[in-house]
Amino acid sequence: MNIEQLKEEQLAAARKVVTTDEAGEVKTIGGCDCAYTNNAVVAAVVVCDDKLNVIERKTAAVETDFPYLAGMLYFREGPAIKEAFRRLRHKPDILLVDGNGVLHPLRCGLASHLGVELDQATVGIAKTKLLGEEDEAGNIKVGKEIIGAEVKAKPHSKPLYVSVGHKVSLHTAVDVVTKTIRQPHKLPEPLHLAHRLADKAREEMEKAMH
């Protein structure tokens, strides 16, 4: 595994990232998340309509020996998510990804890399902030550059760190995340549903192994 080569790949993808709205009217919103079992990544993608009713669900399991490395989640989870996404009949207008977009040292986290590879509008939603400082408005900045925003489901809940993945503006990314949070869940509903589906698929795989 050549880390420098992988970083070059990330930088090449970062150069292709589009940070303006290209998705048109957002009528369907997807969420994707992963669970792990033995040496496999189990990815789940859930697509909802604008009322957050589920239109379609797909899962895929892909074996991997790629370790967890901060900032390199795409190389661990990307293949499984791409396979689950490929199985969808209804591709979402925007895909919410459990991971960073441009809020990343190389400006290309999981959400951005996936967006470029799938030619899909994506939003990065992370629970930990990799870099940057917040201003009073909740923007996350590196120097003068705004690379993300802090969003809270409730006043005292831990924040989500939202950033552009690909083919969306930060304004739209924050808007979609805010509108799709359903109390009492902290995550946007499509992402929450994908998280549950990934866990369920993993449990079923583990049962089948015994």
Q: Domains in the chain, start-ordered, CATH in brackets?
A: 23-209 (3.30.2170.10)
pLDDT at position 122: 98
- Within the chain, strands assigned E span 28-37, 40-49, 54-63, 94-98, 122-126, 133-134, 139-142, 145-151, 160-166
- In angstroms, the CA 107 to CA 29 distance is 23
pLDDT band at 70, cuts 50/70/90?
A: confident
pLDDT at position 43: 98
Give the tokens for residue 173: 């990314």
pLDDT at position 187: 93
Whether 210 has a pLDDT exceeding 80, the answer reads no
Nearest CA-CA partner of 87 in 113, 59, 119: 59
Return the percentage of the chain with pLDDT > 90, whole number: 84
| DSSP letter (8 states) at residue 26 | -
| Beta bridge mates, 62 | 41
Whether 119 has a pLDDT exceeding 80, the answer reads yes
pLDDT band at 154, cuts 50/70/90?
A: confident
Return the percentage of the chain with pLDDT > 70, whole number: 100
pLDDT band at 164, cuts 50/70/90?
A: very high
| Beta bridge mates, 29 | 48, 94
pLDDT band at 184, cuts 50/70/90?
A: confident
